[in-house]
Every structure is written in structure tokens, then in C-alpha cells.
Amino acid sequence: MAVMGPVIPRLARDVTGRQLAEVLAEHGCAIVERMAGEAAMDALMADIAADLETRNLGIDEFSGRRTKRVSGLMAKSATARELALLPAVLEAADILLLPSCQDYQLHVTHVVQIGPGEAGQRLHRDDTIYPMPQPKPVTELHGMWAVCDFTADNGATVIAPGSHRWAPEREVQPHETVPAVMPKGSAAFYLGNTIHGGGPNRSNRPRTGALIGYNLGWLRQEENQYLTVFPDQARTFPDRLQALLGYSATHNGHLGWIDAGDPRVLLKDPSERKKYLVW
């Protein structure tokens, strides 16, 4: 009798945020197939192609010596901004993150292109950047979007399902991981304490994915969104995206205020600014 290995749950593109959140809470990861579609991935790639072409390769084994990264997607891609605001994703973030904060924020946004011949990335948990004792709440929710097909050979993200429930000192074994194989336009979602890493690229083509993540609003963002999206550009964004970037005073107005006002005061007409005062 064959022994079943680890499996990443797969969900249909019309999944609700509640369904996605329930699967993530149980398994720590999930793939939503063709959630955005191929056209959206082509548009995102067109938005950042010039930046990707001139980007340097990584500088160490973790960043990948044959891997390129382009960050600041909210400033560079209208398609990425749409992905960040997908209702099902935000509903899942509401369920998973709001029990531990008044509001959450965009944590990191970047394209990762793993070149042919790249070795597998060291498996890790993203939330170890926060030196908090265990047990701790879910601090991050990430979505890796397949800008091209993700295969077992081209560097599909490797995930250890269920590892969000493991003790911090437990080391992952090779048989406990599985590549997030998925067609272009799909997304692999995982929690900040789920073990994962970029897979080895044994193909002759690069593997390109777009990472968009969220974190608790009282923690510092991994990517400095305030210096990535300046007020003149943020002014043109929807209110919800402005808040996700950090242009809002959260947790009863005590985190992130500017001169006793919500930072969105910088983005509004002077006639509207009074309503953004915190006190």
C-alpha cells in the first residue's frame, strides 16, 4: 500500500475568503488555481519587465545567486495593486489577522525570478524576523502568484503543509515538503509560520512569481512601503490601498499618526483634512 506524502490543498478560483481562511488555519497553506488568470500575469510582467531586465542577481545563497527580485510592486504595477485588493484575499486576511490587530497592512511586494541552475533556497519561516516568544499569533499571510506555470522542475515554491503547527525547534525533513505546482495565474497562499522556500530550478527557463504579503498592523513591515509609494502617487489609490500601505493611523489612532492626524491627511484636499484628526 502506497504511503501518501504531504499535500497542499487545492481550491477553485471562486473560493470565498472564509473557505480560504479555514483551509489555511488547518493546513498552513493552500493553492487557489487560476485565481487571477493568465492575462493578469502577462500585464504584471509587462509592468515590471524593464526593471527585471536590469536587476542584479542575488548576493548570497538565500537570496539566490541566479535569482532576481523586483520590489515595490504597488508603485510599479496596476495589476499588482488589483491583486492586493482582491476581496477573497482580504476576507481571508480579516479572519486570520484581525483577531490580533485593529488593522493589518501590506508587508512585502516583490517579483522573484528564479533562473535556470538555481539551487533550492534554505527552507524557513518568514515570521522569524519578529523576535517574539512562542506561541504567538499568526503575524503574516502571503500569496505567491504564478506569473508563469510553476512545476516541480522549474523552482516552484516548496512548502511543508502543517508546519505552522510544529514546535519551533522541529527541523523539516525532505519527505515533509511538496512543491506548489500550479498553472499560470494561480496563487499559493501560506502563513508566516509555515515552512517554505524557493525550489531548485532544474529547467532551462526562469520561474517567475509575484509575492504579496500582509502583516499585523502593529508590526513593522518588511518592505518600507512609505518610502516605496510617495504621497503624490498614493493620493491616486483607493482608500483601502492607502491604508494597507500605512497611510492610516491604526489601533485607536495611536500608531502612525502625523501631527495628531491620520497620515491620510497628506493625501487629501485641505478642505477635507479636519476629519482626519486623531484628537
HEC sequence for 195-209: CEECCCECCCCCEEE
Q: In what order do the strands lie in the sheet with 207-216?
A: 10-11, 29-32, 187-191, 140-146, 207-216, 104-114, 67-71
- pLDDT of 84 reads 98
Q: E strands along the chain, which residues?
A: 10-11, 29-32, 67-71, 104-114, 140-146, 158-159, 178-179, 187-191, 196-197, 207-216
Tell me how far apart the 2 most distant CA atoms of the chain are, in Å.
72
Note whether 64 and 206 are within 8 A (CB): no
- pLDDT of 278 reads 66
Residues of the chain with pLDDT under 70: 1-3, 276, 278-279
pTM of the model: 0.95
HEC readout, 216-276: ECCCCCCCCHHHHCCHHHHCCCCHHHHHHHCCCCECCCCECCECCECHHHHHCCHHHHHHH
Domain limits, the chain: 10-225
CB atoms within 10 A of CB 228: 20
What is the CATH code for 10-225?
2.60.120.620
- pLDDT of 4 reads 73
- pLDDT of 170 reads 93
Phi, psi (rounded to 5 degrees) for 84: -65, -20
